[in-house]
Amino acid sequence: MPESTLSITLIEPPKAAAKPAPVAPATPKSAMQKALEKLGLKRDIDLALHLPLRYEDETRITQLRDAREGDTIQIEAQVLECEISFRPRRQLLVKVDDGSDVCTLRFFNFYPNQQKALAVGNRIRARGEVRGGFLGWTMLHPSFKPAGGELPTALTPVYPTVAGMPQAYLRKAVLSGLARAELSDTFAPGDLSRLNTHALWTLRQALHFLHHPTPDVSLDTLQDHSHPAWQRLKAEELLAQQLSQLQSRRARAALRAPELKGRVGDTLHARLLQTLPFALTKAQQRVGFEIAKDMAHHQPMHRLLQGDVGAGKTVVAALAATICIDAGWQCALMAPTEILAEQHFRKLIGWLEPLGVKTAWLTGSQKTKSRREALDLIERGEAQLVVGTHAVIQDKVQFKNLALAIIDEQHRFGVAQRLALRNKLQHDAMEPHLLMMTATPIPRTLAMSYYADLDVSTIDELPPGRTPIITKVVNEARRDEVIQRIRAQIAQGRQIYWVCPLIEESEALDLTNATETHAELSAVLQDACPEGKPVTVGLLHSRMAQDEKKAVMAAFVAGEMAVLVSTTVIEVGVDVPNASLMVVEHAERFGLSQLHQLRGRVGRGAAASACVLLYSTGDAPRLSEHARERLRAMAETNDGFEIARRDLEIRGPGEFLGSRQSGDAMLRFADLATDGDLLEWARKEAPLMLDHHPHLAEKHVQRWLGTKAEFLKA
């Protein structure tokens, strides 16, 4: 049974009796409705699941004589003085006496009606943090209301809100929604017995408690979500996610895809293996077999290929493409940037064109004639392999028989973009096999939750010959030493990356831009070459024309350029074995995954390689805690899986996943870093529930996810 929709009528504030309601284009009801919808509160269950950020204890009155410095307390007192002072700035000063001591309430922002409510002689209840000093106790901007009436028996919730939505109204709305929401359990509390006995709360009990906890509860257990009521909610949320993923997996199993069975003999796949200038690692062979086995089935493959930087994912993708082409079908590879797409294109052409494979190139910056020719080849089926950017999924691109879609750096694409590529096969109601690749390894708990609908293949072995990269964290004050290190590398014939976070000067972020750094290095490195040749320093950033970018990259790849100053457009895909030093300026501004990707641009040849992370504290005395954690992790390990685990801890799943969830965090309450036991339980419970109680499973998913479940299906 679907949840009832939100009815604001029942929770509308009472109208004043003395005055008629003013005529206005927007009534208070419609304004509140918009504010609620902005918070995502459209159903009664949404209101019930809108949990407090924190709580205020209004259940007790504290005497000022019993107060301690820094305590947040509630007092009941009489106003002795109320006046506006203009020293050192305009403020309202209210002196009150609770019978045991006096306290000054200080307001820098106030309205006439507040001043009236704090008139001399009035008795009030005020709640705030008390501070001592020469003038006695003070409270800065305390909350207050008239004294009298019974004290509440539960803590007062403070909810996440938006402008135009006062807490008082939101509390009434949540309370009303909580009363109306259908909160019957979708599974028996006993099903949680494998976790711990404290989890045996019903959903109704847990929600009512968390909205109005008793004052004797430990606030720490509420804040860190370890209270049994929180455990119940997190278990429910994780179960909803697992059910949604399992539903998606089973729905895909009912779809049909071309059966791309590998053949024996003189096939394109066999010839590529024979002509590759290197041997596949055991890990590459293993994941290649997993992918080939999937593509041989009639249900669509939905596999994530993950591997650390430089693990050799591209050749695995190429081998998968040959199986597809051998079977007479088309294959498409989509990358998020033209630089990355071109890197793939160059590699694939080098491997496959000598074997007779016809390829097509599609990007947004392509000239009209070239684009028209490519579209024609694709539609006729002559282009067996299509490589490009988002242009591959545009409506004008019509494949004759697309059977395999490969998406690199999949987390950079939105849900709609991935679905669009899957919909490119319109042949007997079939859809293509989907292989997604990422150089950001997925931590285990993330794979178990957000990627539970995917089959995951992992290349956990680097090709031989990759040299370990030494990482140094260096203060900006030692910049000259870093430049001397660059001179030494140039003298040895090596190439260097220097990455900057901004292109232009920013008043908000006082960072050296790429253009200035390019000018600086061009000047100081001119005599670095021992043969007396001028040293070429290139510049690459996102605002350059595409032809300029290509020319700069081509020169660097060809070894005609010693130093490349760049923004993060070289984060992935660039492969220059002669580059042995990576300098990242203002490294404290970069994410951990991004730093690891940048580091992976060096160490691709036989020469010893290093990554220098230049950091600056600016005007601050030291780096932020998160920045220190990121730089420490980079210095301590080269392991991409360990980097990913730490990155998840620092950023949380929402930021880590990028656009996979298109802006809606699929886990609001559960924490993958601490709730592994709940996640394991949900994984085991989901198939049992879906098999034996499908109607309850559907009700559970709708209650928790609603339409958000669609985000998990791409």
Could you tell me whether strands 402-408 and 433-438 are parallel, antiparallel, or unpaired per DSSP bridges?
A: parallel
All residues at 6 or more sequence positions from 358 whose CB lies less than 8 Å from its CB, including other chains: 377, 382, 383, 384, 385
What domains, with CATH codes, occur in the chain? 1-56+169-182 (no CATH), 60-146 (2.40.50.140), 268-459 (3.40.50.300), 469-637 (3.40.50.300)
Please tell me the distance from the alpha carbon of residue 615 to that of residue 47, in angstroms, as a whole number: 45
All residues at 6 or more sequence positions from 489 whose CB lies less than 8 Å from its CB, including other chains: 495, 496, 580, 581
Q: Is the pLDDT assigned to residue 198 strictly greater than 70?
A: no
Q: Which residues of 268-285 are buried (b: 16+ CB within 10 A; e: fewer)?
A: bbebbbeeeeeebbebbe
Query: Residue 624's pLDDT is what?
Result: 86
What values do phi and psi take at 603, rounded to 5?
Answer: 80, 20
Using an 8 Å Cβ cutoff, are 541 and 568 in contact?
A: no
What values do phi and psi take at 362, rounded to 5?
Answer: -135, 120
Which one has a higher pLDDT value, 442 or 66?
Answer: 66
Using an 8 Å Cβ cutoff, are 206 and 212 in contact?
A: no
Which among 142-146, 199-203, 388-392 has the top mean pLDDT?
A: 142-146
Query: Residue 426's pLDDT is what?
Result: 60
What values do phi and psi take at 241, rounded to 5?
Answer: -65, -45
Where residue 530 falls among pLDDT bands split at 50, 70, 90? Answer: confident
Where residue 12 falls among pLDDT bands split at 50, 70, 90? Answer: very low
Q: How far is CA 123 from the centre of its chain?
A: 50
Query: Residue 505's pLDDT is what?
Result: 47
DSSP one-letter string for 159-197: ----TT--HHHHHHHHHHHHHHS----SS-GGGGTTT-G
Enumerate the β-bridge partners of residue 94. Answer: 82, 105
Share of the chain above pLDDT 70, in %: 86
Please tell me the distance from the alpha carbon of residue 41 to that of residue 160, in angstroms, as a whole number: 11
pLDDT in tens, 609-638: 999 999 988 777 788 888 899 999 999 998
Enumerate the β-bridge partners of residue 306. Answer: 438, 458
Which one has a higher pLDDT value, 282 or 590?
Answer: 282
Total residues found in the chain within this entry: 714
Query: Residue 24's pLDDT is what?
Result: 44
Could you tell me whether strands 579-584 and 495-499 are parallel, antiparallel, or unpaired per DSSP bridges?
A: parallel
Query: Residue 568's pLDDT is what?
Result: 66
What values do phi and psi take at 711, rounded to 5?
Answer: -65, -25
DSSP state of 599: H
Cis status of the peptide bond prior to 354, with omega within 30 of 0: no
Q: Is the pLDDT assigned to residue 394 strictly greater than 50?
A: yes
Stretch 681-699: mean pLDDT = 91
Provide the mean pLDDT of the chain. Answer: 84
Query: Could you tell me how many helices (H) and strands (E) the chain has, helices first?
Result: 22, 21
pLDDT in tens, 635-681: 999 888 888 888 877 776 656 665 444 334 468 898 887 888 899 99
Query: Residue 417's pLDDT is what?
Result: 56
Q: Phi/psi zone of residue 587: left (φ > 0), alpha (ψ -120 to 50 degrees), beta?
A: alpha
Three-point CA angle 690, 696, 701, nearest 5°: 80
List the alpha helices (DSSP H) in 360-414: 368-380
Residue with structure tokens 């041989």?
Answer: 296
Q: Is the pLDDT assigned to residue 415 strictly greater than 60?
A: no
